[in-house]
Each structure stands twice: as structure tokens, then as C-alpha cells.
Structure 1
Amino acid sequence: MLNKTTDTLRSYGFQVEMDDFGSGYSSLNMLKELSVDRIKLDLRFLTGPGFEDKGQIILSYLIQMFQLLGIDLLAEGVETLEQANFLKEKGCVEMQGFYFHKPMSVIDFEDII
């Protein structure tokens, strides 16, 4: 049923994204069952204890897996140059987070562009 809905949306030009991958209902099992165009990676992969060790290994393989599956990846919660460089080095080119800019109003955004 869900794949039928996503296929219909795609036929109208929409893309299907899975948000907060790595938390809650966004899981590897969902990737087997649902065809998505983009994954938004939960920021917890980049922050907190373990990023220096296990987190980097897990993230490296996730990025590689998404590339092999033809799924675009957006890393949320990038807060440091180190995180941005790590992601770029591994092939993740879409990122968002405080490292790039803090949230702002539409008026402030228009002022900086």
C-alpha cells in the first residue's frame, strides 16, 4: 500500500524522503520495503559519545550503502568543521546544521542572499 502511494507521488514529480534515519521507525527494514529517493540522516550519528570510534565506522558504511542503492543522503546536525570534512571525505555532499548557519527568519535569510 505504501509503495503504491509513493509511486503515485513520484508520477506527479514528487521525491520521497525518509527523515531521521537511525531513530524511531526509520530503519534498515524500512529500506528493504520502501523505495526512497533521499535519506535524512539523524544528527545523533554525528554527535555524542562514540562518534570518534564506532560512529565513524557505522556512518562510513551507511554512506557507502546509500550510494550503492542510489539513494541521496542529507546529513542533519552538522556542527563542526571536523564533521563536515569527514562526511565530505566519505562522499556525503548534502549537509545542514549549525556549522553552516543557525536557524533564521525569512527576512534574515533574504538579507544574506
Structure 2
Amino acid sequence: MKNEEHVKQTIGELKKMGIKIFIDDFGTGYSSFSYLNTYKLDGLKIDKSFIRNISAQSENASITSAMIKMAQLLNMEIIAEGVETLEELEFLREHGCHHVQGYFFGKPVCAGEFEKRLREKEN
């Protein structure tokens, strides 16, 4: 991120290939609101620390709903990571989150196991 012009050019080339660009772990670490203006991003990936216990922690609920609303106003997609409960999933659906991922749907598996499960669903 030190060479802004190079990053912009690289993002542009990736987008020409049909690759969508998201800010990962938005709200923590090195993610910055300035990136929303600087780079042509497709969306935000909300960090799991905001999703965890969302129904019990009103601060997480407020921050997450604000991030979703902001992304919607900027015509960006939203991915919430770390969804582990039905309550978390329902909260995200109610607030218009586009995509979710987490252990609620399944734990990570190797490529071979994933292929096996996919083939079982096809049959």
C-alpha cells in the first residue's frame, strides 16, 4: 500500500480480468476508510471480531449494522466472516449483508474432501 499508483494500476488490471476486490478484515488492522475513496473496490469483508456474539454485544451490533449501511450507500458488496450461529446469520440477513462465511456452514476442508462433498450434492 506504500505505492498508491502501483496499487491502483494492479487493482485495475485484476478487475479487467473479472476479479472482484474486497478489503479484508474491515474495521481492524490496516484497513482504512481512505481506501474507500482511493481504490475502486467491490466490497468489504467485515472482520469476525464484530460478528462474534453480535446478539449479546450491542456495540458489535451497532458497528456491524453501520458498516453494512455504509457499504450499501457506496454500492459495495459485503461479506461477513466468522458466522457461527443462527442468530448471527439472521442479524446479518435482516441488515442486508450480501454474503456470509463461517463454521455455521461448515469447517474448512482440504480440496479432495470439498470435491467429494460437492459430488455427493450433485447426485
Bin of the TM-score, shorter chain as denominator length: 0.7 to 0.9
CA contact (8 A) 1:46 1:77 kept: yes
In the aligned structure 1, how far is the partner of 2:102 from the partner of 2:50? 13
Q: Which residue of 2 aligns with 1:67?
A: 72
CA deviation vs aligned residue, 1:52-74 (integer Å, no higher than 9, x gap):
21110111111011011011111
Gaps of 5+ in 2: 119-123
The structure that has the greater radius of gyration is 2
Q: Would you say the 8 A contact 2:25–2:45 is kept in 1?
A: yes
Which shows bigger deviation, 15-24 or 71-80?
Answer: 15-24
Residue 73 of structure 1 aligns to a residue whose secondary structure is: strand
Equivalence for 1:38:
43
Identity %, equivalent residues: 38
Superposition TM-score, scaled by structure 2 size? 0.81
Q: Residue 46 of structure 2 contacts residue 64 of structure 2 at CA under 8 Å; is this kept in 1?
A: no
Q: 2:52 pairs with 47, 64, 87, which one? A: 47
Q: CA RMSD for the aligned pairs? A: 1.9
Q: Secondary structure at the match of 2:45?
A: strand
Question: In 2, Cα distance between the equivalents of 1:8 and 1:106?
Answer: 28
Of 12, 15, 21 in structure 2, the residue corresponding to residue 16 of structure 1 is: 21
1:31-82 CA-to-partner distances (Å, cap 9, x unmatched) read 2222211211111111269962111011111101101101111111111111
Q: TM-score w.r.t. structure 1 length?
A: 0.88
Q: Is residue 54–residue 61 contact of structure 2 (8 Å, CA) maintained in 1?
A: no
- Structure 1: unaligned runs, 5 residues or longer: none
Structure 1 residues 51 and 21, CA gap change in structure 2 (3 angstroms):
farther
1:111 corresponds to 2:113 = no
Cα contact 1:39–1:72 (8 A) shared by 2: yes
Instruction: Extract structure 1 runs of 4+ deviating beyond 3 A.
Output: 48-51
